[in-house]
């Protein structure tokens, strides 16, 4: 399969890559790398080996680009366990750990899991 390279598509993909990279979204980064590699003339097999993914994933992502266009990169919320802390609890924790343990009134030179779990997190809840 050969996709005709267009400057506009490549610019859109490069923008999408930067946004994904800045947001820390590895799904976007991986898909853009695959598609750009194909657009630059690499075979599906080469891309799969270089990026350590299956040929089927390469085929599906290229197909999805052809069918969905740039909306390929619009993902639903990632599944997984819900966060245990609310946004306000996360903010309170961030404020506590932005200082050293000594400044927050604890002994020790650095934050540890046991300190956070036993002393600080009960304050946040």
Taking only the tens place, the pLDDT of each residue in 73-104 is 887 776 788 877 778 878 888 888 888 888 87
Residue after which a domain boundary falls, among 49, 73, 97: 73
Helices (H), 24-76: 26-39, 44-51, 55-68
pTM beyond cutoff 0.75: no
Q: What is the pLDDT of residues 29-67, one digit of tens each?
A: 999 999 999 988 899 999 999 999 999 999 999 999 888
82 occurs within a structural domain: no
Res 2 pLDDT > 70: no
112 occurs within a structural domain: yes
Same domain, 68 and 117: no
Burial letters 74-99, b for 16+ CB under 10 A, else e = eeeeeeeeeeeeeeeeeebbeebeee
Q: Residue 64 is part of which domain span?
A: 7-73
How many separate domains does the chain show?
2
Residue among 49, 21, 47 at smallest CA distance from 13: 21
Same domain, 97 and 48: no
Same domain, 53 and 100: no
105 occurs within a structural domain: yes
């Amino acid at each position: 399969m050969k996709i005709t390279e267009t400057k506009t598509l490549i610019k859109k993909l490069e923008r999408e890559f930067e946004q994904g990279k800045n947001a820390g979204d590895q799904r976007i980064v991986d898909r853009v790398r695959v598609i750009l590699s194909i657009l630059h003339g690499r075979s599906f097999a080469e891309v799969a080996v270089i990026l350590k993914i299956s040929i089927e994933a390469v085929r599906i992502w290229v197909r999805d680009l052809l069918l969905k266009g740039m909306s390929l990169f619009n993902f639903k919320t990632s599944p997984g366990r819900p966060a245990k802390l609310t946004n306000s609890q996360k903010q309170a924790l961030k404020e506590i750990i932005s200082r050293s343990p000594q400044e927050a009134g604890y002994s020790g030179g650095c934050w540890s899991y046991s300190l956070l779990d036993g002393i600080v997190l009960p304050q946040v809840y």
